[in-house]
Amino acid sequence: MADTKYIFVTGGVSSSLGKGIIAASLAKLLQARGFKTTIQKLDPYINVDPGTLNPYEHGECYVTDDGAETDLDLGHYERFLNVNTSQANNVTTGRIYQSVIEKERRGEFLGKTVQVVPHITNEIKERIQILGQNDEYDIVITEIGGTVGDIESLPYIEAVRQLKWELGDDNALVIHLTLVPYLSAAGELKTKPTQHSVKTLMESGIKADILVCRTEHELSDDIRRKLAIFCNVRQEAVIQSIDAPTIYDVPNMMLKEGLDTVTLKKLALPDDSTPNLERWNQFLKRHKNPKAEVHIGLIGKYVELQDSYKSILESFIHAGAENEVYVNVEYIHSEFINDSTIHNKISHLDGVLVAPGFGERGIEGKIDAVRYARENGLPFLGICLGMQMAVIEFARNVLQLKGANSTEMDGKTKHPVIDLMEEQKEVTHKGGTMRLGAWDCKLQEGSIIHGVYETDLIQERHRHRYEYNNKYKEQLENAGMLSTGINPETGLVEVIELKDHPWFVGVQYHPEYRSTVANPHPLFVSFVRAAHEHAEKVKNAKMAQN
């Protein structure tokens, strides 16, 4: 197919309605019909990327193979489509303005006054069309962050208006996601907020082609008719998006509502196939019908906001379905773990995951949790900072290196078992200066990790600045903490595991960024299996006592 088609997803009434999930679900349906589809996210904030944002406000920062620090919605795109995203799939206002200002400084606009229109809007249009340039994709779905009417979103909305006009009727469409709230006092759903939202969009010169209405109650035909008339869309283009038990139900719900059919019709694309969702539905069946349950403690310091660990939680869903077990994740704030609370918080668990993070807050609680898992044979997975905590705990309590630490937490530690690489020591900027993106890792034969991947060389995504200090490698290995994954270029340790423990693995990389519905990450699958085996062992021991 020669011309790439473009779909724009905007949001109104309220934020957090799930534009990313709707975009990913539509992309899944189009992909399941054989169309090559990708999704990008345009974010209206002025940060160049989400790497420097607070996880409490923004959720996790997702990292792509090419080292882009991106919005967590890109994680949904990859998990749904099983296709890698890149730098081009996430664009922020910061990046747009940075690029335009650099062009101005280079003299590319000599004699011109640089303005929002046309210069900023042209840059946005360029970024939107990058993914469609090589005929690699039949359809590009672009999600516009924020809510229509926000000051920050205006240049994006204007760029979409221009693009829609330039591309022509059959080549672009706008899906507007809104809220239809239920007023319990009146006992009815209200359409007025949606009407106002569509009106705001029209004031910017954009007519919504499809309305997706987030709702807690079924939309009646009367309400659909009312929305169609007042919002200037056809009735079949009023799509209901009711609350779902899991985000993985949404593609099937959108299929039932006919979102893909309406989309194809409006883009003048053939609608002569049915989406092949066989693998997807097999996953859903396993996910919804587990044969057992495991309790895994997620030890972190941003646990108040689950989006801070979004990819980890989704990886547990994928790995749980693969093992046909329900993974009950218990959030444990590392600041509240100490000698007097640890038994209460951890002894009933089947496994412990110590999560990634930055800074010294809550560190000692993480170290205590590692110690408990190590001494009690509890399956343990440490990711990034979690792996570093395992090294510090082992150095302190097994090697008896008093005050062993990371120089991130204690710049004056006598035993910097975790330290900055030489090339990081001169870095003063925080944004985009870590070890980022996909790096090779060579695995040691006969190790737990080699058994997990069943291969010698793997590639995983990184996002960190501090590293395992190789000066302590010999001491650590002699005492039983093995380095079983090494970066072949730098010689840096990527994986540690314990010799005499049922399942204890720490990884410097982020396996959660690679887990998808179609390919659950083997490390999570193996960890969940180990937790299940532990649970069975404990259960059998209790039965034997009785």
Catalytic residue numbers, as ranges: 384, 510, 512
Instruction: Judge whether 143 is annotated as a binding position.
Output: yes
d(CA 280, CA 25): 11
Q: Say how many C-beta atoms besides its own lie within 10 A of residue 203's C-beta.
A: 11
What are the angstrom distances between the C-alpha of 219 and each of 58, 120, 384?
31, 39, 46
**194 marked as part of a ligand binding site:** yes
Q: Check the annotation: does 31 bind a ligand.
A: no
Say if residue 226 carries a ligand binding annotation: yes
506 annotated ligand-binding residue:
no
How far apart are the C-alpha atoms of 176 and 14, rounded to whole Å? 12
Please classify residue 422 by burial: count the beta carbons closer than 10 Å to its beta carbon, then call 0-12 exposed, 13-18 middle and 19+ buried. exposed
What is the phi/psi pair of residue 100, to 5°? -65, -40
Residue 191, annotated ligand binder?
yes
What is residue 315's three-state secondary structure? helix
* Cα 175 from Cα 214, distance rounded (Å): 13
Q: Is 264 annotated as a binding residue?
A: no
59 annotated as a binding-site residue: no
The set of residues, in sequence order, having a beta carbon less than 8 Å from that of 282 and lying 6+ positions away, is: none
**Nearest by Cα to 529 from 353, 314, 351, 386:** 351
Give the span between the Cα atoms of 395 and 468, in whole angstroms.
12
353 annotated ligand-binding residue: no
Confirm or deny that 253 is annotated as ligand binding.
no
Q: Give the separation between CA 82 and CA 279, rounded to whole angstroms.
A: 12
152 marked ligand binding residue: yes
Backbone angles phi, psi at 146, to 5 degrees: 80, -165
Structure-token match 């290995």, residue found: 477
- Distance (Å) of CA 372 to CA 138, 338, 376, 536: 52, 11, 6, 20
192 is in an annotated binding site: yes
Provide the 10 A C-beta neighbour count for residue 385: 25
Q: What is the secondary structure of 481-508 as a DSSP string?
A: EEEEEE-TTT--EEEEEETTSSSEEEES
Residue whose entry in the numeric block shows the structure tokens 């190790």: 447
Residue 480 marked in a binding site: no
- Rounded CA-CA distance 101/96 in Å is 9
489 marked among binding-site residues: no
207 annotated ligand-binding residue: no
Residue 204 annotated as binding site: no
386 labeled binding residue: yes
Q: Say if CB 83 and CB 518 are below 8 A apart.
A: no
Known binding residue 15? Answer is: yes
Is 183 known to sit in a ligand binding site? no
Query: Do the annotations mark residue 275 as ligand-binding?
Result: no
Q: Is 145 annotated as a binding residue?
A: no
* Inter-residue contact 335 to 365 (CB < 8 Å): yes
Angle at 445 between CA 443 and CA 450, to 5 degrees: 55
Q: In the sheet that 493-498 helps form, which strands lie side by side, from edge to edge?
A: 325-333, 292-300, 351-354, 380-383, 504-507, 493-498, 481-486, 435-443, 457-464
Q: Do the annotations mark residue 56 as ligand-binding? A: yes
Indicate the annotated binding residues for UTP: 15, 190-195, 226
Indicate the annotated binding residues for Mg(2+): 73, 143
Indicate the annotated binding residues: 15-21, 56, 73, 143, 150-152, 190-195, 226, 244, 357, 385-388, 408, 465
Indicate the annotated binding residues for L-glutamine: 56, 357, 385-388, 408, 465
Indicate the annotated binding residues for ATP: 16-21, 73, 244
Indicate the annotated binding residues for CTP: 15, 150-152, 190-195, 226
